Chain A
C-alpha cells in the first residue's frame, strides 16, 4: 500500500534550471495538493487540484506550474529555479473536496536545493 509517492527524494539544481516534481497516489482520491515547508514556517499551499481536470492557485504559486495528468498523478514544475525555492516539497491527497473532515495523506517529500 504505497499511498502517496513522490519522486525524486532529493535534487540539487542551479539557478535558472527547470525541473518537474512528480507525485502519484493509489488511493483513488479526487483532490491533490502541493505544499512547501520551510524552517520555522508552517506548510504553505502552492497549488491544488480539487478534482481531475481542475487546478487552482494556493498561497504561494509564483514561480510554479502544475499539471493534473490524470486522477492519480499531479506534477509540480519549476520553470526557472531560484534560490528562494530551496525547500522541502510535499504532495498530499484527500478523498474529495466536499468533506473537510477527511485527512490529507502526505508523501515523504522532495528536498530541493537551488544553488
Chain B
C-alpha cells in the first residue's frame, strides 16, 4: 500500500469553478509535504511546501492545508482556469526519503 494516497484519481470541472484535491499519508516521521503541478508532457513543478507547524499556505489561486494530526492535506484551487488542467502530485518527505502520490488528473473545461 502506497504511503501517500490521493483522491480523486481524476476530476473534471468547468472553468471558473473551485475544486479541492485530497492527500492522505502514513509517512512517519514527517518532515514536509509538497504539492507539485505536472502539465502533460512536462516534469513536475513545485507549487507549495508545508512543514509540520504550518496548516495553511497560499500561492495565488492555490491554497494548501495540512492537518498533521490526521495526516491529511488538501489543495484548493479557486476560480479555475483552462491552464489549471494538469496532474497534481502530493509528495511527503520523511527523515531520509520522499514518497510520491499517484496524482489527481484535473481537467478544466470551458
Residues of A within 8 A of B (CB): 4, 35, 40-45, 90, 92, 100-101, 103-104, 106-109
Contacts and interface: CB of A to CB of B under 8 A. Distances in A.
Given A42-B102, A101-B49, A107 B43 contact: yes
Contacts, number: 43
Contact of A45 (B2, B49, B51, B98): B98
Contacts of A104: 44, 46
A42 B101 contact: yes
Interface in B81-99: 89, 93, 97-99
- How would you classify the secondary structure of chain B's contact residues: helix, strand, loop or mixed? strand
A106 B43 contact: yes
B4 interface: yes
A80 B41 CA distance: 26
Contacts of A108: 41-43
B10 to A, nearest CB: 11
B79 interface: no
A103 B42 CA distance: 16
A29 to B, nearest CB: 14
A103 B34 contact: yes
Contacts of B34: 103
Nearest to A9: B41
A42 B46 contact: no
